[in-house]
């Protein structure tokens, strides 16, 4: 009989990704944070009904909040629960991480963006990134580098034949 190993689970734990973020920003650092969610939101996350592409993180009163993320409620949501799909959600950070982020945003001109949402054990986690915006010429340079890497891989593949 084969034992199940919880560490070697097959499957993808990613719920949603913000692919546009890597195109629009230079990501300096990324941090894993928790989310304060309601029950219907967790059920919707399990069904994969979330979009974080237009979300942003802001700080208010010494706390971090995420706005703009859309979690679509399921059809089977209870009638007595008022479900707001674009409500502001609190992020759960340690005080030291929070102070560091607030300082970098205020002093050094960084912005904080949501990169991906995923499951870690039974908890929904959000990976946020400390980022600086790219200019148009930076986007062109990264597109040129990406094209060159693809062409180089193609040349190397055919050179070994």
Check: pTM over 0.85? Answer yes or no.
no
Three-state secondary structure of the chain: CCCCCHHHCCCCCEEEECHHHHHHEEEEEEEEEEECCCHHHHHHHHHCCEECCCCEEEEECCEEEEECCEECCCCCCCCCCCCCCCCCEEEECCHHHHHHHHHHHHHHCCEEEEEEEEEECCEEEEEEEEEEECCHHHHHHHHHHHHHHHHHHHHHHHHCC
The reported pLDDT for the residue numbered 1 is 45
**pLDDT, tens only, 99-134:** 999 999 999 888 999 999 999 988 999 999 998 877
Residues of the chain under the 70 pLDDT cut: 1-11, 77-79, 161
The reported pLDDT for the residue numbered 7 is 53
The reported pLDDT for the residue numbered 143 is 81
């Amino acid at each position: 009989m084969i034992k199940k190993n919880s560490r070697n689970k097959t499957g993808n734990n990613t719920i949603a990704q913000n692919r546009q973020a890597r195109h629009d920003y230079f990501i300096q650092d990324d941090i894993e944070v928790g989310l304060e969610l309601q029950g219907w939101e967790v059920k919707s996350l399990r069904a994969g009904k979330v979009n974080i592409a237009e979300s942003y993180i802001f700080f208010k009163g010494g706390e971090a909040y995420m706005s703009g993320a859309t979690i679509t409620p399921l059809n089977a949501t209870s009638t007595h629960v008022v479900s707001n799909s674009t409500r502001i959600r609190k992020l759960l950070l340690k005080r030291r991480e929070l102070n560091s982020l607030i300082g970098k945003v205020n002093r050094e001109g960084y912005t904080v963006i949501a990169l991906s949402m995923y499951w870690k054990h039974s908890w929904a986690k959000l990976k946020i990134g400390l980022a600086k915006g790219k200019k148009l010429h930076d986007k062109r340079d990264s597109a040129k580098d990406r094209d060159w890497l693809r062409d180089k891989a193609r040349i190397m593949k055919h050179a070994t034949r």
